[in-house]
Structure 1
Amino acid sequence: MTNGHDEVEAGSKADSEEDLELENVEEDGPLLLSAQNPHPEPKSSSLRGLAQRQKRFKVAVVVITIITLSFIVLGLEFTSSNVEPELDSFQETLKVESERARELLLRNIGPRIGAGDGLVVASPSKGEKSYLPDYYYTWTRDSALVYRSLTTFDSSSNSENTSSHDELLHRAYVQSQIPIQTRSNPSGGLEDGGLNEPKFQIDGSSFLGNWGRPQRDGPALRALALIPYAHFLLDRGYPADHSYVKENLYNPDKMRGTGNVIKNDLEEVAHRWWKGGFDLWEEVNGHHFFTLIVSLRALQAGSSLADRLNDSGAQEYYSKQAESLERKFESFWSDEKEHYLSSVSSLNLDDDNDDAAIFSLPDRQWSDCSLPLSLIHAGDQIDIDNYGYSNNTVIGFGPADPKVISTIYRYIQSFDGLYKINNNKRSWTQGWALGRYREDVYDGVGKSKGNPWHICINAIAQSLYLIEQRHYEQGYIEPTEITNSFWTELMNERVNNDRRVERYERKFELALRRLREVGDSFLNVSRNAMELGERMSEQIGRDNGKPIGARDLTWSYASLMTAVKAREDAVSKADNGVKGA
């Protein structure tokens, strides 16, 4: 490699050679030819002088042009470097923090934390102090969401850009789940509901204590975490890859059994999705939006995988159950409250599912953090299997859907005036600390008053980035009666319900810029509550903003990583000038 001095010398030598060539050019050549005088006269001193002057003039013009262009380029660089220096710096800061969050998250997996290989521990907290809970277990839900955040096996993945470490992680996860699936537990066994058991000991053995069970989102989330990996292996196409899929993930020749991790979960979801269970907060027994939408996505992705593996019977059954499940989401929409309800007592099922229970629910608004979590983990912006093989109708639950935007807005608004740490912020657009739901009484250890949670604050940040990205893609904003307040408060400018805001309008640019700015404000609430600038607890003190509850919560780290990734995607879409459809 040459150094700068060598490059200068080489350049000088080239310039000298060019001068020599110019000096050797016939000075009475084409420069002196014209239509009026196509035949040059014999050489003379006057003609040579004229040619030399013309040559010097050309050289001067070239030099002046180069100098001018240099100033223009420098000016542009200076201008661009001053347009968004803080933005570029913020992105780099977030990248560093996300990578650090990944490092801290990985410490909570496997032998490093004393667990079985591939098992995700929710937190190192063992209840060793009075202000710490005992989260030293592995949850099916948390594990699936964590592995989903670590690596995305999508259509662009291959053996070159997927690290061996990422693949080893997923294989360890698969192997950890094989015995868990077949182990008898308080929820049952492989054939009769045991896959809905929410948590296990860190060695994979059953937890036998009292708990909110069953929780039916676990099998669906685990299937969604592993189906992209199955497609990745099938695409890579080695005989060993195909064998691994059949022996460990999905065997089309049997319905359930050991070493059939994905298909076991899909069979469970397909045959019991309409039955009730406890919500992801492990508190309420009923029918839950989050559980049903991840179940829908699992069935849709599972139908695609079954089709690829020539399992036609399973493909048809999963697809049929997905269509039946999709029709039940109307039970969750409230015209009066203008948001989806997080839980309902009944799904208003038909005769095919007459064994579904009807539940009695506590008196609540049913506007909670599970709704933005539903968007980021199962919204229609997601290619459900990361390979685009789905042949199912997808429910319209996405970032540009007015009902979704209204649901997100009402959830945020439900915390107005609740937490002291938000008192110095006049508007939600400045970034509020948010908790699970307004009526929450879980304080991280016992029951008193609920606090903000990192996963909920980051879920809103990520939701806003997704809303920004989707509107960039579609190229317009369509305010409605139920979203008018959201857009008006976001932009601090009145919007009309009866007209579309097009890409070329000032308001379009303003709205999307504000979506990112407000998303950043929420993300900063979570970032500013990190202990020592990097450690993330489960909760944030509602009065003082200090870490509270379980320390080093694995899901908290994952929530930061996925929010930062969503922001990067939104920035990339905007920078690349995505056109509307």
Structure 2
Amino acid sequence: MTDTDTDLDGWIAGQAEIAATAMLRAISATDLVKHRPGFGQTVVPLPGSVLASPVPASYDPDPDYFFHWYRDSAIVIDALRVARIEDLVGDVAETRLREFVEFTLSLDRMDRDGRPAHARFRQGTTPDFLRFVRDEAEIGRWTADWVRGETRVNPDATPDFTRWDRPQADGVALRAIALLRWPNGADEGLRTGLRAVIEADLAFTLAHGREPSFDIWEEELGHHYYTTLVQAEALGLGAAWFAELDRPVEARACAVGADELASRLGEFWDGRLGFIRSRRGVSGGSERKALDAATLLAVIHAGRASGPHSILDPRVQAGVTALESLFETAYAINRDRPADRGPALGRYAGDAYYSGGAYYFSTLAAAEFYYRLSAALRDGADLPAAAENGRFRERLPAGRDRPASAAAALRQGDAIMATVRAYTPASGAMSEQFDQGTGEQTSARHLTWSYAAFITAAAARSAATGRRRA
């Protein structure tokens, strides 16, 4: 091991502790208060809510992320499990899990007297903010199933009455995946709550898996690779879970649903472009979004160990190469980077949100991809040699045997992690983006997803180096 490797080891260990502390700060943040004067709101988070960012901003200039997003919260709760395995947190993890389950169940009991509730909300909204309020007819459809199609709610378990792109179906599937991964040693009360949430989330996924929804970035309505993959994975895990509970009818339904979604995943491959398209069936959608980091995030979050749509899939590997090539050209911080650093990744070409720059969670997903690949090769998997991943194997470069290929993948993960380190301040604070030209942090400060992504990437590195297996 070189001095450089040891130095990176030390930084990753220290940053993982910072990330775990920061992530915990956003879960059950009952000491925080968010005022939205234009909407007449004062929001105090309830136990179990997960803030996308605990910073009470109001687009001044940071965005208002003081919400419980379904997707973000599922990613965080999964990272909490990993943090516990990695000894970054202790028994507080189970406490926060219990609160998360109770908060989720409380959403089903939310005030469903939609029209009067909406009217009360409108009464507190100033005239210049009324244009941001949802239509009364939309709120009037409030049901438990409708709630699961939401993108986000307020962390005090009240509806988000602002206009936002809905419906979304990925967060519910991700939540089922995250909860199905937690150990079964919890007490009976927690197990009962877990079963209730998982069953409802799987039922929702079965019922709505064929329907279009908004993408992970909440921008375009259609069918999306990310959503389809996490839905298929949730139903596959659900089938095995129901089988263990000796519930064959539900197990069969989930298995059939998973197979149907899995068959649709192949439709996203574009042989002409040479990568998996992020979306299809999007009316008026932008072709520049066909290549999207959401496809990489889908593979990381679904977490398949092998086979199609895993880290060992040649088509997935082709997409990683295409993303790296895109952002190596597009971003000045990549064009000018030192030779021992990997590329920083954003979302898609021409992204105009805030700096349109690199995202911590996209870049960390790339590092995690290589770490997981290294661990798989180290454990005996073969690096496939196919036409689709030819450029990937050239860029790695793949060694002549498994140990050499595993070492190459580990080096590439470390090179990307070195880039994350270069744009993370000494305090360890991680926002949503870092600018594509200057590397300065932009968009939401203390993004909880960024910290969660660091924890899972660091854990994947531990597995790749043989130190720990999360």
Please indicate the TM-score interval, normalised by the length of the shorter structure: 0.7 to 0.9
AA partner of residue 62 (structure 2): L
Which position in structure 1 is the counterpart of 2:127?
none
Q: 1:205 aligns with which of 158, 166, 183?
A: 158
Which position in structure 1 is the counterpart of 2:26?
108
Which position in structure 1 is the counterpart of 2:303?
379
Q: Is 1:405 the counterpart of 2:317 in the alignment?
A: yes
Pairing of 1:392-431 with structure 2 (within 5 A): 396-425=308-337, 430-431=341-342
Q: Deviations over 1:419-471 (max 9, x none)?
A: 222221387x731221111121111xxxxx51111011111111111121222
2:70–2:152: 8 Å Cα contact kept in structure 1? yes
Q: Report the 3-state secondary structure (helix = DSSP H, G, I; strand = E; otherwise coil) of the residue aligned with 1:193.
A: helix
Pairing of 1:351-500 with structure 2 (within 5 A): 359-381=283-305, 396-425=308-337, 430-443=341-354, 450-491=356-397
Q: Report the 3-state secondary structure (helix = DSSP H, G, I; strand = E; otherwise coil) of the residue aligned with 2:288.
A: coil
Which position in structure 2 is the counterpart of 1:174?
101
Q: Report the 3-state secondary structure (helix = DSSP H, G, I; strand = E; otherwise coil) of the residue aligned with 1:474.
A: coil
Q: Report the 3-state secondary structure (helix = DSSP H, G, I; strand = E; otherwise coil) of the residue aligned with 2:19.
A: helix
1:530–1:537: 8 Å Cα contact kept in structure 2? no
Q: 2:184 aligns with which of 211, 216, 231?
A: 231
Q: 2:231 aligns with which of 295, 313, 320?
A: 295
Q: Deviations over 1:496-520 (max 9, x none)?
A: xxxxx434xxxx51x3323222211
Q: Report the 3-state secondary structure (helix = DSSP H, G, I; strand = E; otherwise coil) of the residue aligned with 1:286.
A: strand
- Give 1:128 shift: 4.5
- Give 1:551 shift: 0.5
Pairing of 1:334-345 with structure 2 (within 5 A): 334-345=270-281
Q: Report the 3-state secondary structure (helix = DSSP H, G, I; strand = E; otherwise coil) of the residue aligned with 2:465.
A: helix
Q: Deviations over 1:9-51 (max 9, x none)?
A: xxxxxxxxxxxxxxxxxxxxxxxxxxxxxxxxxxxxxxxxxxx
Which position in structure 2 is the counterpart of 1:7?
none
d(CA) in 2 for partners of 1:463 and 1:278?
Answer: 25
Q: Deviations over 1:204-261 (max 9, x none)?
A: 110011101011011111111212337333xxxxxxx345433x232xxxxxxxxx21
Q: 1:272 aligns with which of 208, 214, 230?
A: 208
- Give 1:162 shift: 9.5
Which position in structure 2 is the counterpart of 1:527?
421
AA partner of residue 313 (structure 1): V
TM-score, length basis structure 1: 0.69
- Give 1:96 shift: 1.7
Q: Is 1:96 the counterpart of 2:14 in the alignment?
A: yes
Which position in structure 2 is the counterpart of 1:72?
none
Q: Deviations over 1:509-556 (max 9, x none)?
A: 1x3323222211211222222233400011111211111111000001
AA partner of residue 79 (structure 2): S
2:341–2:418: 8 Å Cα contact kept in structure 1? no
- By relative contact order (CA 8 Å, sep 6+), the higher-ranking structure is 2
**Alpha carbons of structure 1 residues 474 and 202: separation in structure 2 relative to 1, 3 Å:** same
Pairing of 1:239-254 with structure 2 (within 5 A): 241-242=187-188, 244-246=190-192, 248-250=193-195
**Alpha carbons of structure 1 residues 373 and 406: separation in structure 2 relative to 1, 3 Å:** same
2:214–2:221: 8 Å Cα contact kept in structure 1? yes
Q: Is 1:217 the counterpart of 2:170 in the alignment?
A: yes
Q: Deviations over 1:71-112 (max 9, x none)?
A: xxxxxxxxxxxx444424422331121011110111112214
d(CA) in 2 for partners of 1:561 and 1:112?
Answer: 24
More deviation, 297-306/188-197: 188-197
AA partner of residue 423 (structure 1): R
1:189–1:195: 8 Å Cα contact kept in structure 2? no
d(CA) in 1 for partners of 2:183 and 2:79?
Answer: 17
Pairing of 1:118-133 with structure 2 (within 5 A): 118-128=48-58, 130-133=60-63
- Give 1:296 shift: 0.9
Which position in structure 2 is the counterpart of 1:38?
none
d(CA) in 2 for partners of 1:208 and 1:523?
Answer: 39
Which position in structure 1 is the counterpart of 2:255?
319
d(CA) in 2 for partners of 1:95 and 1:162?
Answer: 13
Aligned positions, number: 431
Which position in structure 2 is the counterpart of 1:328?
264
Q: Is 1:546 the counterpart of 2:437 in the alignment?
A: no
**Alpha carbons of structure 1 residues 312 and 561: separation in structure 2 relative to 1, 3 Å:** same
**Alpha carbons of structure 1 residues 364 and 161: separation in structure 2 relative to 1, 3 Å:** closer
Q: Report the 3-state secondary structure (helix = DSSP H, G, I; strand = E; otherwise coil) of the residue aligned with 2:162.
A: coil
d(CA) in 2 for partners of 1:190 and 1:312?
Answer: 28
**Alpha carbons of structure 1 residues 359 and 181: separation in structure 2 relative to 1, 3 Å:** farther
Q: Report the 3-state secondary structure (helix = DSSP H, G, I; strand = E; otherwise coil) of the residue aligned with 2:358.
A: coil
2:222–2:283: 8 Å Cα contact kept in structure 1? yes
**Alpha carbons of structure 1 residues 433 and 316: separation in structure 2 relative to 1, 3 Å:** same
AA partner of residue 305 (structure 2): Q
Q: Report the 3-state secondary structure (helix = DSSP H, G, I; strand = E; otherwise coil) of the residue aligned with 1:544.
A: coil
1:121–1:202: 8 Å Cα contact kept in structure 2? yes
- Give 1:365 shift: 4.7
1:538–1:549: 8 Å Cα contact kept in structure 2? yes
5+ residue gaps, structure 2: 34-44, 115-137
5+ residue gaps, structure 1: 1-82, 234-240, 251-259, 346-357, 383-394, 444-448, 496-500, 577-581
d(CA) in 2 for partners of 1:426 and 1:482?
Answer: 29
Structure with higher Rg: it is 1
d(CA) in 1 for partners of 2:155 and 2:334?
Answer: 37
Q: Deviations over 1:253-292 (max 9, x none)?
A: xxxxxxx211111100011101011111111111111111
Q: Deviations over 1:139-163 (max 9, x none)?
A: 0110110010011499x99xx9994
Which position in structure 1 is the counterpart of 2:456?
562
